[in-house]
Structure 1
Amino acid sequence: MGRLSHLLLLSVLCLFIQSISCEYVLIRENMTWDEAQVYCRQYHFDLVTVQNYEDWTNVQKAVQPALTSAVWIGLYNNISSWRWSYQNEDISFYSWSESQPNNGNGQEECGLISSIGWNDRDCSTEYPFICFKENETEADRFAFVNVSRTWHEAQSNCRQHYTDLAVIHNQTENQVLTLKMSMEGISDSWIGLFRDSWKWSDEINVVGMSSINWMTGQPDLRNLNQPCGVIRPDGLIDDQLCSNTFPFICKTLEVPAETVGRPYDELMEVPAELVGRPYDELKTKKQIVRFEMKSGQNVNDPAVMETILQSIQQKLTDLAVHNDTTVTWRVQPDGNVFTPKHEDEEKQNVCSHHSRCV
């Protein structure tokens, strides 16, 4: 049980640890992106995530020798992840115009308000914008800035001089804004609406579009199609309809023997953006961990699973992981937690022990 607990801990901390190696698994069966994600999470860890040129090179080495078509990777773009700039607040009230949001140019990730409703637009487009002031009366809550800026410039301005870009919670507030816009002679204004751009299946944000080795002219999917990413035999990345079917690449995690039993603080590297920040300012993070175990018992027995879970939780406590960390099982579609490992898969270990595996 000791090795099992260490494996789980190191996986939870894999965003900060540089010594975990990974194994890429090419699955030849054609599946949709969603089906491939379920398969990888059930039998391995997740669809493959790559964050830099070295990772791209390693993935290419893993798949190119046997690759004859494009294959799914963990890249996807969720056009339904709309929320407010202020505290990343979820949206509880919607007032989209007809046929909106439509991701019209394939890059519409910010929202504006007009006389006929909300619309999604390219964040780099310049519009006037509306800020809001917290703890003000309804009459003084919103501030109109009739200077055209990009969405991110508008966000920065609002946060500097007010609270944030406007948040709209109900139809009354929506009508107040549209009426004031009409009185000001403004047709379109940025508000605090935005959504995620490209992400990885394990919910890690893409470092930057330049880090992805896109084909020329890609990504180019339009309208309401949710795009997902494939890697082609030439190593270039293309976007495809998630409902299309392709082979796919899963990733697994391996912990080198020399790291087992070492204090986790010897293995951690704190990212620069977290240095000096209070713990209570850090967002809650969910990490999905996959591990293997051998046992003569029925590991899907509730009593056995509870014993394993308690042991893992105790190990986290012993290693001074914050006490608000919780560990739960992920239940598979068949109702089980553990699934017998399939051996009929091609495997190739292409990560060095000093590669970053996320």
Structure 2
Amino acid sequence: MDCSVPLSVLFFGVNFISCSHLPPLRKYYYVDTLMTWAGAQRYCREEYTDLATFESTDDVSRLPPDTKPYRWIGLSDDPKSWRGTMGNDPNSWRWSSTGETSRTGYQNWAAGKPANALQPCAVMLADGRWNEYSCESALYFFCYTETNQATKTFVLIQLLKSWSAARDYCREHYTDLAKIENDEEQNKVNSAKPNHYIKAWIGLYRVPWTWSDKSQSSLRFWDSIGPNNADNKEFCGFKRPSHQWNDADCSRLFPFVCHQVTTLKTTLRMKFETDADITDPALNAQILQQLSAALTRQGFTDFKLRWKIPPKKQEKTKETQCVINE
């Protein structure tokens, strides 16, 4: 990250030193002991930080050459979080209009559904029950409009669209894809179905695959055949010698990759020259508040600002140090 930040604070000119080419946040370690995915996770959490997370292809490229055919990484799609449940885990089912799981916990899945990890979008079947489905399929869809009185009306749109295209259409013309949180709303959607109706999108979806350390990284570096969830029981991610990923049964015994998070500390020194009374605590606090806001906008996190008066400086010159931990 380039830490050179152009900034004007009140009437001060501020120059930041450059801190380009900072070392990476994670250091990776190969462990050649054979373990299940859960066993590898426990080991990495005890000896390092966690099973390996990758934020970018730069992270992947920093892995050394590897002769092992498979190694666990920290990516999984735990079915306990989404199979027949409306939980709160990152890969659980949630509604398009809120990006959150149901407030009421209401669900109307068909028997034994959802079960297919490769189908992370939901449809309503002819009998009103819900089923998982491939998000790229072209289907009709239900939109809803919600009034100030929290009353919902539902309409079936007889256009063939993918789930994401249907969502965008509903957001442009209505409120969103249908959100259904009780029997009354389910009955309203049922009444909007014509006789020839077969299945249509609703606003339920999930984001498959999450990182063991709860990272929000969206990087996916699957190989040409992964993930394929063979036999409907492959819910853990591994990497090949090429460093590309695939999925496997979590009970298999593989070596694995751990990562250790390193803390970076960078000191930024700034000189202010002014005729104002910078010994005034209120003015000092205002300066630090504006500096903090500017650094946050630049993407810095977990930093501390403090005043420091260097020796043998003129009375009207004061220096602040910014310690940034990322």
| Same fold? TM cut 0.5 | yes
Number of matched pairs: 251
Residue matched to 2:51: 47
Note if 1:232 corresponds to 2:236: no
Q: 1:208 to 1:41 in 2, by over 3 A?
A: closer
Structure-2 residue corresponding to 1:73: 73
Return the alpha-carbon distance in structure 1 between the equivalents of residues 111 and 72 of structure 2: 33
Counterpart of 2:186 in 1: which secondary structure?
helix
2:136 counterpart of 1:124: yes
* Aligned residue runs from structure 1 range 329-344, under 5 A: none
Amino acid at match of 1:245: L
Residue 101 of structure 1: how far off its partner (Å)? 1.0
- CA distance in 2: counterparts of 1:317 and 1:56, whole angstroms: 27
2:99 corresponding residue in structure 1 = 88
Matched, 1:186 2:194: no
Q: How does 1:135-174 map to 2 (within 5 A)?
A: 135=147, 141-174=153-186
1:198·1:206 contact (CA, 8 Å) conserved in 2?
no
Give the TM-score, by structure 1 length.
0.61
How far off is 1:140 after superposition? 5.7
Q: Of the two, which has the highest radius of gyration? A: 2
Which structure features the higher share of helix residues?
1
Q: Determine the structure 1 residue equivalent to 2:226.
A: 218
- Distance in 2 (alpha carbons) for counterparts of 1:93 and 1:196: 19
How far the C-alpha of 1:53 sits from its partner, in A, is 3.0
Match of 2:262 among 254, 267, 288: 254
CA-CA distance at 1:50 after TM superposition: 1.8
1:166·1:192 contact (CA, 8 Å) conserved in 2? yes
Q: What CA RMSD, in Å, does the superposition of the two structures yield over aligned residues?
A: 3.3
Summarize deviations over 1:190-227 as a string: whole Å, max 9, x none.
Answer: 00110112332233455454xx151x322211465352
How far apart, CA to CA, are the structure 1 residues paired with 2:98 and 2:210? 20
Query: What is the match of residue 294 of structure 1?
Result: none
- Return the offset for 1:144: 1.7
One-letter amino acid of the counterpart of residue 45, structure 1: T
Return the alpha-carbon distance in structure 2 between the equivalents of residues 260 and 219 of structure 1: 40
- Cα separation, partners in 2 of 1:48 and 1:268, compared to 1, 3 Å: farther
For residue 31 of structure 1, the aligned residue among 4, 16, 35 is: 35
CA contact (8 A) 1:132 1:164 kept: yes
Correspondence for 1:196:
207
Query: Is the 2:52–2:259 Cα contact (8 Å) retained in structure 1?
Result: yes
Amino acid in structure 2 at the alignment position of 1:95: N
- Residues 49 and 139 of structure 1, relative CA distance in 2, 3 Å threshold: closer
Q: Secondary structure at 1:108's aligned position in 2?
A: coil
Q: 1:52 to 1:193 in 2, by over 3 A?
A: same
Letter aligned with residue 241 of structure 2: P
TM-superposed deviation, 1:165 = 0.9
Q: Which amino acid aligns with 2:211?
A: W
Amino acid at match of 1:131: C
1:133 aligns with 2:141: no
**Do 1:73 and 1:231's aligned partners in 2 also have CA atoms closer than 8 Å?**
yes
Q: Contact (CA 8 Å) 1:77, 1:196: kept in 2 or not?
A: no
Higher relative contact order (CA 8 A, sep 6+): 1
> Which segments of 5 or more consecutive residues in structure 1 lack a partner in the other structure?
1-16, 272-286, 288-315, 321-357
| Matched-pair identity in % | 28
- 8 A contact 1:77–1:199 mirrored in 2: yes
Task: From the superposition, tell whether residues 150 and 247 of structure 1 become closer, same or farther in structure 2 (CA, over 3 Å).
Answer: same
In the alignment, the residues of structure 2 paired with residue 140 and residue 69 of structure 1 have an alpha-carbon distance, to the nearest angstrom, of 53
CA distance in 2, matches of 1:267, 1:74: 31
> Residues 231 and 237 of structure 1 are in contact (CA less than 8 Å); yes or no, is this contact kept in structure 2?
yes
Deviations 1:40-63 (A, max 9, x none): 23332121122333322222x1x6
CA–CA separation in structure 2 for the residues paired with 1:122 and 1:101:
12
Q: Shift of the alpha carbon at 1:149?
A: 0.7
User: Is residue 110 of structure 1 aligned with residue 110 of structure 2?
Assistant: no
In 2, distance between residues paired with 1:318 and 1:141?
50
Cα deviation for residue 240 of structure 1 reads 0.4
Are the counterparts in 2 of residues 18 and 269 from structure 1 also a CA contact under 8 Å?
no
